[in-house]
Amino acid sequence: MRESEKQIAKLALLGESIGLFGQAITTLAAYLALVDEETEEDKFIKMQRQIDDLLSEIRQKK
């Protein structure tokens, strides 16, 4: 294998490595977005329960 072919192969490997790293970052970002969305949804569910409980207490006191 000539020197130029070795350099081309090394550059191709480097390019593939960078691409794989980019895909990993994209996957991590998508995962974190899903976790954040679930956390927000959980907060809204808890808030709705609290509102429902407070409304129930108000109705009982009337």
pLDDT tens string 25-58: 999 999 999 999 888 889 999 999 999 999 999 9
pLDDT on residue 9? 95
Torsion of CA 47, 50, 51, 55, to 10 degrees: 170
| Four-residue CA torsion sign, 21, 22, 23, 28 | positive
pTM given for the model: 0.62
Question: How high is the pLDDT of residue 62?
Answer: 74
